[in-house]
Amino acid sequence: MRAFLSLLLAIAAALLATPAAAASAPEQHPACHAEGTAGEAIETIVAQPARWRCDGGEPGLGADVALLSFPVDPAGELPAFFATRPVSFGSLTLAVVRDGRVVAKQTHPADSLVVDAQGRRFLVPLPARAGAADTVVVAIHGATTRGLFGDARLHADNPMTRDNEMMKLLVAAIVCGMLAMPLFFNAAYYRVLREKFVLWHLAVTTSLLLQCLLTSGVLAHFFAIPVPVFARTSILSFCLAVASAAAFCAAFIEPRKLDPRLRTGLYLAAVQVVAVSLFHTFLPNAFRASQTAIYYASFLPVLVIFVAVLIDASRRGSRAVRYQIVAWFPFLVMGVIRIVTMLVPALRHDEAMDLFYAAMVVQSVATSLGVADRFMMVRRQRDRAVIRAQSLERLSERDALTGLYNRRALDGALGNFAHQGFTGFALFDLDHFKRVNDTHGHATGDAVLRTLANVLGTHENAVAVRMGGEEFLLLLRGENVAERVERLREAIPVRIARKVGELEMLVTASAGLVEAPARQSLSGDFVTLYRAADNLLYEAKHNGRNLLAAMTQSDVKDRLVDGDDTIAAAAI
């Protein structure tokens, strides 16, 4: 745990330290801005100083063309790159200006630009020009978000060559690796724990992993990602992460630990996020100036529902919500920062990306621990349920009076004689047992039955079953079956006389035994063996009682062939 906390602190320190290092890097911010109409030449706007505002504000999103002006030193070297946030727009025109005249310009459609390897911007080389310049003008056609203006910079060199940028990429790669780990855990959990919240957690983790790979630049190191593709994929992956998180929370919090209306609200919030995000992704200019604000504002109800869910589940004593509070608190803070800075014009829009990476680490660890905790709880509950079911099943297979197996136990594995290796099938029946009950009462009769059960049940390498009334079955393994059964039969009256002192009569037992041939086990089904043993028991009773009638299974078959009616019921 200490090592894990140290890793989190190191990641947080790196995330907080690298922006500070970036502050000293050579870059320029726009000084003025202007707005134009579709088809209006950039030269016309540059030549009209009255149209430019230098009050520190930003162009409006309702304009067809938004222009930014960067003053440069005419005697110095012109910056090499323009960079800004990779979001949706139509096209970009870079113009180099000297003394109010455009001396060089170049237009780039959005789909011709690719995201840089840092993942948070795209870089465009400034057009070549001859002679000195005093201004660089950037014209953005069809801007959809204020982030295009707030993040606009001129760079003297490629930012990716700076040490702090490589540190950011390394930290982001570590975060992405941590997000990938729960994918394997979820796959393993779902094989055992078929719960919906495991699938939703898998969706959350997958979406956040895609966000991390996109915004960190890890994917851009291997693939050239056009800005429109990046913008759409980033919006969709984020919306899927939020929607999956809402569904995960609804499925993860225990039953009766959350108001049903709030649980339904989470699913509705997920649907709303997906619908609004799809509209914003594929129709980014439908409402022009207000669309981005509407998009960000649509997340406010989601934040409110999440907070209400966390509070309500905590009040109801939910165990799962503890992990949810830790997991989603950084995301809630990040969401508030993004929404407020977008909706308040006086504030510079902040995506809070460093907090976003830290939030992904916390979410990954906290929700994974929560899922693991739920897995252990559900597993313990299922284990207890299995133990209870097995206990009930064992009780249902036991005779209440004697504690031996009852007839029902033979319907299970015990009755599979082909695989049990039994060598003897013996039926015992007490002689004249009705006289015991009639003379001494049922309490004494029960004592006699318990004594008989103790004699049979304690015999080694054998299984005793009470078939009903005073009839008992003994299934034996091993050799010398007939001798063992006869010794048990002879011990029964002695043990009964010793244990049940109120008896004034000798209680004997008769037995019928079907024995397997030498070095073999019994074959055939229970019904067949029972009929054969029951016929032998009948012979013992018929011949005077207090006797054992035994026969091997092969002799039973031969007797059937000879047509002996005494054993006719034992068809094998």
What does the alpha-carbon distance between residue 462 and residue 459 come to, in Å, rounded to a whole number?
A: 6
Residue 224, domain member (yes or no): yes
Tokens 């979406």 belong to which residue?
207
pLDDT, residue 382, reads 76
**Which CATH number does the domain housing residue 139 bear?**
2.60.40
Q: What letter does residue 226 receive in the DSSP assignment?
A: B
Token pair 């959990």 is found at 189
Distance CA 155, CA 257 (A): 54
Does residue 438 share a domain with residue 319?
no
Model confidence at 283, pLDDT cuts 50, 70, 90, reads: confident
Asked if 228 and 352 sit in the same domain, the reply is yes
Q: How confident is the model at residue 247 (pLDDT cuts 50, 70, 90)?
A: very high
Which residues on neighbouring strands pair with residue 93, listed in sequence order? Answer: 107, 139
Nearest 5°: the CA angle 292, 154, 104 is 100
Q: If 0-12 CB within 10 Å is exposed, 13-18 middle and 19+ buried, where does residue 555 land?
A: middle
Q: CB count, 10 Å around CB of 318?
A: 21
| Mean pLDDT score of the chain | 84
Q: DSSP of 130-155, one letter per residue?
A: SS--SEEEEEEES---THHHHT-EEE
Indicate whether 19 belongs to any domain. Answer: no
Per the model's pLDDT, the better-predicted residue between 344 and 162 turns out to be 344
Of these ranges, 2-6, 74-78, 178-182, 544-548, the one predicted with the greatest mean pLDDT is: 544-548
- pTM, two decimals, is 0.65
Q: What whole-number distance in Å separates Cα of residue 142 and Cα of residue 108? A: 13
State how many domains the chain has: 3
pLDDT at 75: 83
Judge whether residue 90 has pLDDT over 60: yes
Question: Do 222 and 328 reside in the same domain of the chain?
Answer: yes
Span 254-277, mean pLDDT?
94
pLDDT of residue 408: 83
Kindly state the DSSP code that residue 399 receives in the 8-state scheme: -
User: Angle formed by the axes of helices 227-252 and 320-343, to 10°?
Assistant: 140
Distances (CA, A) of 196 to 189, 348, 488: 11, 40, 59
* Chain segment 200-236, per-residue pLDDT in tens: 888 988 898 888 888 888 888 888 999 999 999 999 9
Is position 332 within any domain? yes
DSSP secondary structure, 84-95, as one string = E-----SEEEEE
Share of the chain above pLDDT 90, in %: 45
Instruction: Report which of 371, 336, 370 is spatially closest to residue 355, judged by C-alpha positions.
Output: 336
> How far apart are alpha carbons 539 and 542 in whole angstroms?
5
Q: Give CA separation, 339 vs 184, 289, 298, 301, 335, in Å.
A: 33, 16, 9, 12, 6
Q: Which one of 55-64, 265-274, 340-349 scores highest in mean pLDDT? A: 265-274
Confidence at 449, pLDDT banded by 50, 70, 90 = very high
Residue 4: which residues within 8 A CB-CB, separation 6 or more?
365
The reported pLDDT for the residue numbered 18 is 45
Domain boundary among 116, 134, 161: 161
One domain for residues 382 and 502: no
| 154 and 126 part of one domain | yes
The stretch 441-451 carries a mean pLDDT of 93
Q: Would you state the pLDDT for residue 560?
A: 52
CATH number of the domain that residue 488 is part of: 3.30.70.270
Q: Which band of pLDDT confidence, cut at 50, 70 and 90, is reported for residue 393?
A: low
The pLDDT tens digits for 485-510 are 999 999 999 999 999 988 888 999 99
Whether residue 184 has pLDDT greater than 90: no
DSSP state for residue 128 in the 8-state scheme: P
The answer on pLDDT for 569 being more than 70 is no
Task: State the residue for tokens 């009050």.
Answer: 55
Closest CA to 165 of 209, 228, 121: 121
Give the end of a domain, one of 137, 161, 185. Answer: 161
Looking up residue 170, the CATH number of its domain turns out to be: 1.20.1070
Query: Cβ(126)–Cβ(79) under 8 Å?
Result: yes
Give the pLDDT score at 448: 95
pLDDT at 338: 87
Do 361 and 422 have their domain in common?
no
Residue 424: burial class (beta carbons within 10 Å; 0-12, 13-18, 19+): buried
Does the structure show a pLDDT above 50 at 16? no
Closest CA to 78 of 103, 57, 100: 103
**What gap in Å lies between CA 52 and CA 396, rounded to an integer?**
91
Residue 487: inside a domain: yes
Please give the single-letter amino acid code of residue 117: A
Q: Specify whether 353 is located in the same domain as 417.
A: no
| Residue 399 included in any domain | no
In a shared domain, residues 415 and 518 = yes
For residues 305 and 269, give the distance between their C-alpha atoms in angstroms, rounded to a whole number. Answer: 8
Q: Where residue 130 falls among pLDDT bands split at 50, 70, 90?
A: low
Same domain assignment for residues 179 and 147: no
Mean pLDDT of 330-349: 85
107 and 172 co-located in one domain: no
The average pLDDT across 27-44 equals 91
Beta-sheet pairing, 424-430 with 471-476 = antiparallel
Among the candidates 360, 388, 416, a domain finishes at 388
Residue 222 inside a domain? The answer is yes
| Structural domain contains residue 232 | yes
Residue 433 lies in domain? 405-567
Q: Are 192 and 335 members of one domain?
A: yes
| Token pair recorded at residue 15 | 């995330």
Examine residue 397 and state whether it is found in any structural domain, yes or no.
Answer: no
Tell whether 418 and 543 lie within a shared domain: yes
pLDDT digits (tens, 9 = 90+) for 139-161: 999 998 888 898 899 988 877 66
